[in-house]
Structure 1
Amino acid sequence: MDELIGLFGVSEEDGNEHSYEAQLMSHNDDCQHQVQPEVEEGNVEFKLKLVNPTDSRMEHLVTQMKWRLREGHGEAIYQIGVEDRGAVLGLCQSELDTSLATLNKMAQRLNADITTLREVVVDPVAQTKAVEVLVRQIPSDKPFIDMRVCVLGNVDCGKSTLVGVLTTRQLDSGRGRARLNLLRHPHEIQTGHTSSVCHEIMGFDSHGKPVDYSVVRNKEEICEMSSKLITFIDLPGCQKSLKTTIFGLTGYYPDYALILIAANQGIVDTTREHFALALALNIPCAILITKADLLSPAALENMKAQIKNVLEFPGVDKMCLFVEKKEDAVKAVSKRFRPEQIVPVFVTSSVNGQGMDLLKDFLNIFPQRNVTEESSSCLSNDRVSSSFCSFFGDDDEDEVKEDDCFEHDEPDADFKIDETFIVPNVGCVVGGILQKGVIRRGDEMHLGPYEDGSFRTVKVASLHRTGRAPCSIVSQNQSAAIAIKPNNPVRKGMVLLASFGSGTDETQQSREKTIHYMKMGSKLGCFNYMSENGQAGTKFKASMELEAEILILFHPTKIQPSFQCTLHIDNIVQSAVIKSITLQDGMDVSPKRNKTVSLDGKEKECERIDGFGGNGAQSSSLPSVSNIDRSPPPTGRTRTSSSNEGGPCLFTNQKGHVTFRFLRHCEYIRPGMRILLRQGKTKGIGNITKVFPYIHGANVPEDANLEM
């Protein structure tokens, strides 16, 4: 940079002999004035002139400027009137003005500004000039709507193909050509089946026009040109990848879910199960009938009747709206028509493009889901979602006393980590979603929890939003990648927390209360101790144990203490063991008995589960692969009851307070978080009611160091 600035002024150290005018007097065989030739690397670009470039030439120039800005971390230097080989020829005033106007257009395409640093007369007789221009990129901090849409459905129903058609506007060949750019692994391309979580984006500008790869060439430009950004999360449809599907539903906080039903498959068990999971997590849904070009009009009407019957099933109680014109799409999101109760149904085809425009109109006007409001609602009610509880029977509310819950310090910023990277020359980069607050470049945050329950202080070095667009600020509910310094071990499930207020200046009463909690031992507390590695603790607490109100959606026998399962809590996926079960007051634990005949011809009593507390509630679940039914077991395969000899236990469609303990390491969790229990075909759903802070070490002395 110093060498470049020296071309246009006098160096204080070397005097006039090394001034730009002196260099212009240097003679060359081909040109009167010569400087060092342009190099490919770096942020310096030489241009003789930029007069009336063609469209293709303009695209090349914009791409070239983007490269120079990236090399200079948002800044570039343009030399106008200088050839690539270093010959300083200069331009007349008209050509210079036109070149600067073209340079300004290029900069505007990349959200950058230009500033003239120096202007030097090359030839006083001909009045030719050369200028040095600074191009500086404006941080892309404009607010925009960032929505995430999960795509669910059975194998071979056209999920990846649909996303490919929506984001490229190129119809499919009928053999999966549109999905090739979406698949991540070679085996996915070979089989055509998605086994991982795939992401693709499209946007809408301020006028509602789609912004996709048919308009621009890369994700950065989609982010820059869009006022509303849609991130499609393509999830696996095979049963063996159900863990990945559940993680996509719980860890990515989707605003909407598209349930795909292939015309040549119909409504299968996997489709019902995916719909039940979305319903349990309170995720709004839309149903898409794909491959409509394979259906006859009579078969299409039959398919619509089946979908309507499923949506009107007791416990689901959704209104079916078939979207056939744009007015129907507007009606589906209008507050007057209770959009939370409406499930729009689209008839689409990725081969002939049927229904794609209506689907884009719907995605353009659908509002963002308020996850924070839902979480606070769940916390205030302290119960499982009533809509899903009625799906299985009567809902008996059991309020939790406020005195039973300890105070929990809420962070000002909460970033959930679901991906980690090591980037050369950058270091540790974490990807995830900012669930709460605002993060700016340069902020200090707390990374953790680690095995000892501690949090380590890190600094935000750089930020990139969805689509790899660099920025200096990330807002709530936006996806981002964050480079942190210094490098620390990071795993999925960790969090980046920040408290920007005066959280460290606690009152004396709060300090005394905190010390009292610390002396109590394991169940109550507000702060972590000084960790063994000398890392100062923070006011944020890690937990190894939690209590949750759980509704068992299905289990073949009974669930009792020591039962091991996998818990999905936001971006956390970890095995846990049940320590204790507390049944709700007034609930009859013992399942009803029915007489059956075994293989030896003798009558035996077997269990029959009739909903909550054996009240005989009618079956209201979706007939799905999760087998949530109440029919007696087959003759000869009886299930015997232990008459609760081992203590309280839970059966299908029963609800109780369950205490879990993680098996591997502590996690950062808070009351009110949604929890999903999974083990084989066993499913459960609920909310966290209590968390118990983890204290590293068996015994803690009364005068332990406390980091306030």
Structure 2
Amino acid sequence: MNKLELETLVSAGETSNIEFKEFLNEETHLNSRRMENLSCQMKHRILAGNGKALYVIGVTDAGSMKGLARGEFDETVSVLKNIAMTIDADVTQVEEYKVDGGLVGLVSVENNVKPGEHLLIGTAGHVDHGKSTLVGALVTGTTDDGAGRTRIYLDVLPHEIARGLSADLSYAVYGIKGSDIIHLKNPLNKRESASVVEQSDKIISFVDTVGHEPWLRTTIRGIVGQKLDYGLLVVAADDGITHITKEHLGILLAMDLPVIIAITKIDLATPEQLKRTEAGIHSTLRLVGKVPYRVKSPEDIDTILGKVPEGMIVPILHTSSVTREGYDILEYLLFKLPKRNLTSEKPFEMYIDRIYTVDSVGVVVSGTIKQGIVEQNDPVYLGPMEDGSFKKVRVQSIEMHHYRVNKAIAGDIVGIAIKGMKAPDIARGMVISEKEPKVVQEFEAEIAILNHPTRIGIGYEPVIHMETICEAVKIVGLDRKYMMAGERGKARIRFKFRPYVVEPGQKFIFREGKSKGIGRVIAV
């Protein structure tokens, strides 16, 4: 911020997270009663700023820049640091400007609260089976009206609301403090979502995918690119297993995700429909080597919990968003589920999913941290560009569900404000990382053809989904002449248009029309 911007800020008057102070001295403002008031005031400003408060010092209550002598300036900053310590916050930045009367400062104070354990759960299932309604009812703690009232918190685009169909990934936060659930009155309120992150011992981020078949690509992006811990597959009791249900289940299993199944709309189904739906789920799970387990009470969860993260046992719950039947069991399961993806010891790396330009913040990239830890002011690499190069940028700030944090770890969904690049130069599928990674145009993989009407060979050109990468590729090598549906083999795969960061062990899905396959990178 330059002096002109500071003057504009002062002339604009007080906003929610900005506090103006002329001078704070240790003798007056650090006595117990005065300090308690100032601590409450600072906490209020930090909450209003979703984790960050700004103090403008050397400015009178009337808004004129009086300025401070050097000693007064340093003493005021020292008092702010002492106040911040009492509420587990830090003074993270001090900017000073010369005015006619002395020094005016802009002091940033940020919450030092460390977010709790963070689980990522992706919802999947056929269109109109109640994915968004289930998540909306969970995070608000309310009942649905049978017409999707709770869904409105996740379907926010005009055409989504008009048609009642999700068309893009949606995110919702669910918080647990002790054994209590922190419900949201309005999940669309950014400040309320931020307060959940601040208060919770355990945070669950729901990645709500799309059930409409034309948007299968978006669903794959949500499951493949978000480093999920678990998949929550939704099946409507009155409709049962569909081809989309099976497709989504296949994607979850291809990513080695433990699956939980919620049978929804049990208030609408007849006993015969419910029995038929449950039988279809059991037979489908057994075909793919999974053990279905009907959960009827919290005690059942305690019995099978150790096997759920391994993915062998699939809990099946009966739910209704209208009566909230089964929600107590589902909430208990969420309370007990452990975090699975723990790779914080590796260098920081995150595949970029979305790119924004935010007023007063600048360029923001969002995604799920794949590995490592990132902190505010860290220098990082961003790329690759089309020529395979990387740009050096700096982390300006980090937010988790609109709450500003000083650092984030593997498995956190975050937005990272960066300095050093423009939004049009950044694309989905790029990475932001602590160390400059290697890029590849070609890689070797083990692949399996799940569905194809004939056979594939060298020259086959599907679209690959790996992390947040969605790109046309070409098979340039096979360990045999042709491959057909049901066969496995090794292939050499080449990105058609640009290089990407690809690492051994990464799983992927490839598609071309109704043809589908899965794979795992074995060498780059």
Aligned pair in 2 of structure 1 residues 356, 138: CA closer, same or farther (>3 Å)? same
Deviations 1:306-349 (A, max 9, x none): 32222222xx22222111111112223125x8852110011000
TM-score, scaled relative to structure 1: 0.60
Kindly indicate whether residue 148 of structure 2 is the aligned counterpart of residue 176 of structure 1: yes
What is the aligned partner in structure 2 of residue 496 from structure 1? Answer: 432
State the AA in 2 paired with 1:304: E
Q: Residues 221 and 435 from structure 1, CA distance in 2 versus in 1: closer, same or farther, beyond 3 angstroms?
A: same
Tell me how far apart the structure 2 counterparts of residues 664 and 355 of structure 1 sit (CA, whole Å).
49
* Aligned-pair CA distance for 1:151: 0.8
- Note the aligned Cα RMSD (angstroms): 3.3
Distance 2:496 2:90 in 1: 54
Aligned to 1:675: 508
Residue pairs, 1:498-513, within 5 angstroms: 498-499=434-435
2:458 to 555, 561, 576: 561
CA distance in 1, matches of 2:63, 2:383: 53
Q: One-letter code of the match for 2:421?
A: N
Structure 1 residue 158 displacement after superposition: 0.8
Q: Which of 232, 242, 251 does residue 225 from structure 2 map onto?
A: 251
Structure 1 counterpart of 2:403, one-letter code: A
Q: Spell out the pairing of 1:371-382 with structure 2 (5 A cutoff).
A: none
> Does the CA contact (< 8 Å) of 2:352 and 2:432 recur in 1?
yes
> Displacement, 1:467?
1.0
CA contact (8 A) 1:111 1:137 kept: no
Instruction: Give the counterpart letter for 1:221 in structure 2.
Output: S
Check 1:211–1:305 CA distance in 2 against 1; reply closer, same or farther (3 A cut): same
Alignment of 1:624-635 (within 5 A): none
Aligned to 1:432: 367
Larger proportion of strand: 2
Aligned equivalent of 2:410:
476
Tell me the matched-pair count: 459
SS in 1 for 2:428: coil
Map 1:237-636 → 2, pairs under 5 A: 237-313=211-287, 316-334=288-306, 339-370=310-341, 412-464=347-399, 466-488=400-422, 489-499=425-435, 540-583=437-480
Cα distance in 2 for partners of 1:555, 1:72 equals 51
Structure 2 distance, partners of 1:240, 1:110, is: 50
Question: Cα distance 1:426–1:367, how it changes in 2: closer, same or farther (>3 A)?
Answer: same
Given that 1:199 and 1:231 are in contact with CA atoms closer than 8 Å, whether structure 2 keeps it comes out as: yes
CA contact (8 A) 2:319 2:325 kept: yes
Distance 1:68 1:542, change over 3 A: closer
SS in 2 for 1:653: coil
Structure 1 residue 676 displacement after superposition: 1.2
Aligned-partner Cα distance in 1 for 2:465–2:490: 17
Partner AA of 2:339 in structure 1:
Q
Q: Which residue of 1 aligns with 2:165?
A: 193
CA distance in 1, matches of 2:377, 2:246: 46
The alpha-carbon deviation at position 305 of structure 1 amounts to 2.5
Instruction: Find the counterpart in structure 1 of residue 128 from structure 2.
Output: 156
Moved >6 Å (runs of 4+) = 61-64, 82-86, 106-110
The one-letter code sitting in structure 2 at the alignment partner of 1:444 is P
Equivalent residue letter for 2:316: V
> In the TM superposition, what is the alpha-carbon distance from 1:456 to its structure 2 partner?
1.3
Distance 2:342 2:496 in 1: 29
> Is this contact kept in 2: 1:68–1:75, CA < 8 A?
no
Tell me which amino acid in the other structure corresponds to 1:447: L
For residues 338 and 446 of structure 1, the distance between their equivalents in structure 2, rounded to whole angstroms, comes to 33
Asked whether the equivalents of residues 544 and 665 of structure 1 are also in contact (C-alpha less than 8 Å), the reply is yes
Stretch moving more, 289-298 or 229-238:
289-298
Change (3 A) 1:359 1:416: same
Aligned AA for 1:202?
Answer: Y
- Matched position secondary structure for 2:284: helix
Q: Deviations 1:661-700 (Å, cap 9, x if unpaired)?
A: 1122111111111121111111111111222xxxxxxxxx
Q: CA deviation at 1:73?
A: 4.7
- Counterpart mapping for 1:1-20 below 5 A: none
CA distance in structure 1 between the aligned counterparts of 2:503 and 2:337, rounded to whole angstroms: 30
SS of the residue aligned with 1:218? helix
**Contact between 1:411 and 1:498, CA under 8 Å: does it hold in 2?**
no
Q: Distance in 1 between matches of 2:470 and 2:200?
A: 33
Pair 275,109 (structure 1): closer, same or farther in 2 beyond 3 Å: farther
Find the aligned partners of 1:439 and 1:301 in 2 and give their Cα distance.
49
Long gaps (5+) in structure 2: 1-9, 23-36, 65-82, 92-105
- Could you tell me the percent identity over the aligned residues? 32
Whole-Å Cα distance in 2 between the matches of residues 561 and 85 of structure 1? 71
Contact in 2 for aligned 1:76/1:135 (Cα 8 Å):
yes
Name the amino acid aligned to 1:416.
Answer: Y
Whichever residue aligns with residue 351 of structure 2, its letter is K
Summarize the Cα distance change of 1:141–1:474 in structure 2 as closer, same or farther, 3 Å threshold: farther
Matched, 1:230 2:166: no
Pick closer, same or farther for the CA change 1:411–1:663 going to 2, 3 Å.
Answer: farther
- Find the aligned partners of 1:344 and 1:182 in 2 and give their Cα distance: 25
Q: Is the 8 A contact 1:264 1:291 kept in 2?
A: yes
Cα distance in 1 between the residues matched to 2:360 and 2:11? 28
Q: Per-residue CA shift, 1:395-435, capped at 9, x if unaligned?
A: xxxxxxxxxxxxxxx97221211111112333221111221
- What are the Cα deviations for residues 62-90 of structure 1, in whole angstroms up to 9, with x where unaligned? 799337963995244799xx99999xxxx
What secondary structure does 2:267 align onto? Answer: helix
Q: 2:487 aligns with which of 634, 654, 660?
A: 654
* Uncovered stretches (5+) of structure 1, i.e. residues with no partner: 1-35, 47-57, 87-105, 115-133, 374-409, 500-537, 584-647, 692-708
Tell me which residue corresponds to 2:176.
204
Give the Cα–Cα distance (whole angstroms) in 2 for the partners of residues 108 and 150 of structure 1: 38
